Chain A
Amino acid sequence: MDESLLIQQAKKGDVEAFNQLVMGYQTQVYNLSCRMISDTMLADDVTQDTFIKAFHHLKSFHGGSFRAWLLRIATNNCYDEMRRSKRRPSQPLNPYNTETEEEIDDPIWLADDGALPEDFIHSRELEAAIQRCIDQLQAQFKAVLIMVDVQGMDYKEAARAAETPVGTIRSRLARARDKVQRCLQSFSELLPAKYRLKDVRKR
């Protein structure tokens, strides 16, 4: 069904119409939340809260990109959650390796790697490394990097989602990319040869 029609019906209180929109955007909202707060449980809560809030404030949506509007709510929820986490720092429950008697400090590990091919394990390690670099960014830089580079939004849509001018998005994105590049240099052994960053200084 047409998205704008679903929005109109949802504005009138049609929950079923709204749920069709949820089905269309839940993966993006959940992935944004996961990348922003690196905690699947919290990301789950944030995603659910985002859709409930979206339904309650649907009348404030006056057209434009529904995805950007939805991701703005999700981003703000993530900021709130990150602030709460800072106020109440908690120790993540890392898995415990019974053989080495050491904690496994990467969440990659929640996956069952018993019979996985080597390439898959490698890609999971790479993902963990990238996520770790993203985690080091400030919240605003992180949001822009995820929206543009991970989720493929253009500058204008990202600007609407972040409620900032396009120029700010451009600036934040350049700085975020620079920081992630620096960070990934320490994980260069994980990167495929074609993706290894060229150290300009050596040239």
Chain B
Amino acid sequence: MNEAMNLNRKQLELLSAYLDESLSEREKKKAELLLASHPDAVATLENLRNLKSLLRMLPEREVPHHFTITRQEALVARPGWLVTGLRVLSGVSAAALAAVLAIDFLLPVGSIPQPAMLESMPLEEAPATDEFALPTAIAEGDAEIEIESATEAEQSLAAPAESGEPIISNFEAAPEGLGMGGGGGSPEGDTGQPPGMILPDISISEGESLPEDRQLTEQDQLSVEKESGADAEKSIAESSPILGVAPPEEQGKVISDEVLAVPTMPEIVQQKHRFSYLVIEIILLAVSLLSILAAVFIRRKRRGLH
């Protein structure tokens, strides 16, 4: 091996730079100290000096020809800032167009973010239905259910009367657990009546007796009807359209397709998005084509001039 075995890399670097006289005064003193103290330093420096001389002696090769450039080489290959700029513009436009198309094709339309609904916007109508009836399976057993329920109701009304406890009951016996409308029914079933029909309660205080055969007097019926009508209006006014329940007078009507064809909010928003995407695509395509054509035109003109 050579001197690299005896001198570390830093020492070798120091001697190499010392040979080229490229050291600061401080480093120069350090190198001189190394030369004086290290037994291999002088020989290493001598070898470096010999190598440098050897490399400097390498013959210079003659050029095979002159490398002067012609006017054509100077001008034709010169792209110029305008052509370069147009190339960049074309590239950017093409990339943007590709991005828009990718978004358009890859992303499903439904994934376009929807703006929050404003109060002023028309609310989405629930699909109308012409039947407001019980499910078929239940409807088939109507008679039996009603009979059973009526019997139960009679019993429930009669029992408290006998014991003299106050009770609160429905005006008309209704099948329990057969809720109507949006709720879909539940065992508790609230009133168990179709929506919009508010049943008056009959409170029977202690000591009072039920009218004969549970029949109310005419006066009672009138007051009940009056009361139930007002409550029903109030209920409809306060009811939420989300339930999709039409007022009683509207139920069972056939709604025409024209009415149903009103576009919903998401559809309107999607259409707007589609339109804006189309406009962006057209603009980008036009810019890309124009810039490419301009670049080609300028390049040809430059070639023609020179």
Contacts and interface: CB of A to CB of B under 8 A. Distances in A.
A148 to B, nearest CB: 7
Given A22-B68, A51-B69, A198 B46 contact: yes
Interface string A112-156: 000000000001000100100000000000000100111010110
A5 B27 CA distance: 40
Interface band, chain A: 35 or more
A154 B78 contact: no
A192 B2 CA distance: 19
Contacts of B22: 154-155, 166, 170
B16 A177 contact: yes
Contacts of A171: 13
Interface string A5-35: 0000000010100110011001101110011
A75 interface: no
Given A15-B74, A31-B60, A26 B67 contact: yes
Of B13, B39, B48, B62, the most chain A CB neighbours within 10 A belong to B13
B69 A22 contact: yes
Nearest 9 A-B pairs (CB), nearest first?
A174-B16, A200-B3, A174-B13, A19-B68, A149-B55, A200-B40, A26-B67, A155-B22, A197-B47
23 contacts: A13-B74, A15-B70, A18-B74, A22-B66, A22-B68, A26-B67, A31-B60, A35-B58, A44-B64, A52-B74, A52-B77, A123-B59, A127-B58, A130-B58, A152-B56, A173-B17, A181-B2, A194-B50, A195-B50, A197-B47, A199-B2, A200-B40, A203-B39
Interface of A: 13, 15, 18-19, 22-23, 26-27, 29-31, 34-35, 40, 44, 47-48, 51-52, 55-56, 123, 127, 130, 145, 148-150, 152, 154-155, 166, 170-171, 173-175, 177-178, 180-182, 184-185, 191, 194-201, 203
A55 B71 CA distance: 11
B73 A52 contact: yes
B73 to A, nearest CB: 6
Interface string B199-223: 0000000000000000000000000
Nearest to B7: A200
B9 A174 contact: yes
B12 A178 contact: yes
Contacts of B48: 177, 181
B53 A195 contact: yes
Nearest to B47: A197
Interface in B1-44: 1-6, 9, 12-13, 15-17, 20, 22, 39-40, 43-44
Contact of B47 (A22, A35, A56, A198): A198
B69 A200 contact: no
Nearest to B77: A52
Contacts of B78: 56
B51 interface: yes
Nearest to A25: B67
A131 B195 CA distance: 102
A17 to B, nearest CB: 11
A98 to B, nearest CB: 26
B67 A181 contact: no
B16 A173 contact: yes
Interface in B50-109: 50-56, 58-71, 73-74, 77-78
B10 to A, nearest CB: 9
B60 A27 contact: yes
Nearest to A203: B43
Contact of A22 (B4, B39, B67): B67
A35 B50 CA distance: 20
A184 to B, nearest CB: 7
